[in-house]
Chains A and B, each alone.
Chain A
Amino acid sequence: MDLSILWYLVPSVIMTACGVYGFITRKNLIAMLVSLELILNSADLNFVIFNRFLFPGSMEGMVFTLFAVALAAAETAIAIAIIINIYRSVGDSDIHKVNKMKF
């Protein structure tokens, strides 16, 4: 049985939605970072799907995905480093402890 493009796109959309929802609702910095990774990976997934199904002759989406994965790794590395800094100075990675500056 051939799977149509929808079988791949729907999980990707669900991943995006979960990522945005998680980013807004989660209170832990690490959990927020995981949600961000979900959005980034769903974008990568989109690129691969569109490349595979719509433009099977070219490679542009795949190449974009390769670079995007590397960029996502770099983003995570810096974010983790900053979260460690926060943990050292606050003793917690709860977002409610990081609210000294407001309005």
Chain B
Amino acid sequence: MDFIQSTDYSQFVSMLPELIVLGIFVIVLLADLFAGDTKKSFLTPMTAVLFLLGTVAIWIVPASGESIFGGMYVNDTMTNAVKAILNIGAFIVILQSAKWVDREDVVIRKAEFFELMLVTLFGMYLMVSARHFLLFIIGLETASLPLAAMVAFEKRHYESHEAAIKYILTAVFSSAILMVGLSFVYAFSTGSLYFDDLARVIQSGEMSGLLIAAIAFVIAGIGFKLSLVPFHLWTADVYQGAPTAVTSYLSVVSKGAAAVTFFVIFTTCFGGVYSDCWEWMMYAVIIATITIGNLFAIRQKNMKRFMAFSSISQAGYIMLGAMAADGRGLASMIFYIFVYIVSNLGAFAVISTIESSTGKLSMDDYNGLHKTNPWLSFTMTLAMFSLAGIPPFAGFFSKILIFTSVTGTGSMALYMLVLIALINTIISLYYYLLVVKAIWISPEEPKIGAFRSDNWSRLALWICVAGIVFFGIVPFIYQYCVDSVSASAGMLGLLN
């Protein structure tokens, strides 16, 4: 019996990344409790430094490669790499939120912001490492419920409340649908919800209506988190209403974790019915996601809404890795997430510094920005080029790697999918360049005066610029993704 052996509590040591994040969470919580009513100006540097140390520890300490709690949780090189990458995203978000959390209506709750963020990160870790549907659900909820509190963080702003109610209702609806789907999965299992046990039951060719319904429900449930079309309707409103730091966190870190989890569930658990069932569901969903995300992004004037639709279409590109459904697909998906984190956070760092200094969010306000703020304009341009996939920036390499991983499977239908994605890349170029045009070419007088951003944001911007410029050119990063995936391929039971 697995669960009798699992009472060995030394197994918790294998959950090193989780323990690190929980440790930081406890330290921040205690510091907040006992620091008194002072301004607590030490909190942001303390969290950032601790978090950086934790990230370095996750990078350095090799994964134990063990599966613990009867196989519910695995800690292998792949999950470790994903966690380290998510950590970098969260670190940049901490840096770019440093000025916002010191604003007078937020500063009293600034430790809460970091605490909630660390808890969501803990949930995402569980999601990525889960090999059992119970642990997966717990991780998913731990990740998405504190996020609702983070979205509602600006108590005095009506938009924040509206975004939060839209987020929590759709999130609960999606997880309810997901649970109904999982109960169907449970019905045709052998009484076990382990991914491996389910993979043995769900064999190729054995299709039933129940299985199709279950897979559709699970796609819908995780699709909400990833904001895939047709489950994307919350995205734009929530991104617009949430505080900008939370928006950037939602758009990269939570999306990255959900994408990797989607891949793990659908290749290990439902891998047997890949071509029978979910390949075609995802085919349609990806085409709709990329196209609709792009077409709606064109007409947006608010920068946060614009980034919302851009991130919807980027999620479609990320899910191309799941269509490849092999080790190469996973490696290029992780690489894409990494590049997407630095590019999107670069754009968001510019948006948030401009918003916190001048309060301006509309794309028209960016007209002639280069005259007053050349460095911010430069960063924004790089981020837009990277998101659109213009060489030699990182976004080009991540796109080409994910496209080749899909065409590498040799299926004609997937070639067509890549062609559609390519055409959409050209459409996306149009609206990304609208921002660049507003900044550099528009002849109007600049509406945003010259200002100097705070040092934290500058550090975040520098990290993002370095990532955008070097991640594509330096082969080490992609090699790291490939190595970490191939080292844990046995544990994943990848499709061949």
Contact = CB atoms under 8 A, between A and B. Distances in A.
Interface of B: 133-134, 137-138, 141, 145, 148-149, 152, 155, 158-159, 161-166, 168-169, 171-173, 175-177, 179-180, 182-184, 186-187, 190-193, 236-237, 240-241
Residue in B148, B173, B192, B241 with the greatest tally of chain A CB atoms within 10 Å: B173
Contacts of A60: 134, 186, 191-193
B162 A61 contact: no
A58 B177 CA distance: 24
B191 A51 contact: yes
Contacts of B149: 78, 81
A47 B169 contact: no
Interface string A48-67: 00110011011011011001
Given A71-B137, A75-B145, A101 B186 contact: no
Given A50-B186, A55-B190, A101 B180 contact: no
Contacts of B159: 100-101
Interface of chain B: mostly helix, strand, loop or mixed = helix
Interface of A: 16, 19, 23, 29, 32-33, 36, 39-40, 42-44, 46-47, 50-51, 54-55, 57-58, 60-61, 63-64, 67-68, 71, 74-75, 78-79, 81-83, 85-86, 89-90, 98-103
A30 B131 CA distance: 35
B324 to A, nearest CB: 31
A86 B161 contact: yes
A79 B168 contact: yes
Given A55-B191, A74-B145, A101-B163, A64 B134 contact: yes
A101 B162 CA distance: 8
B168 A40 contact: no
Nearest to A13: B180
Contact of A82 (B161, B190, B240): B161
Given A43-B176, A54-B191, 8 more contacts: A16-B180, A19-B176, A29-B169, A39-B180, A44-B179, A75-B172, A101-B159, A101-B241
25 contacts: A29-B165, A29-B169, A33-B169, A47-B186, A50-B183, A55-B190, A64-B133, A64-B134, A64-B137, A64-B186, A64-B193, A67-B138, A74-B145, A75-B168, A75-B175, A78-B149, A79-B148, A79-B168, A81-B152, A82-B165, A90-B158, A98-B161, A100-B158, A100-B162, A101-B159
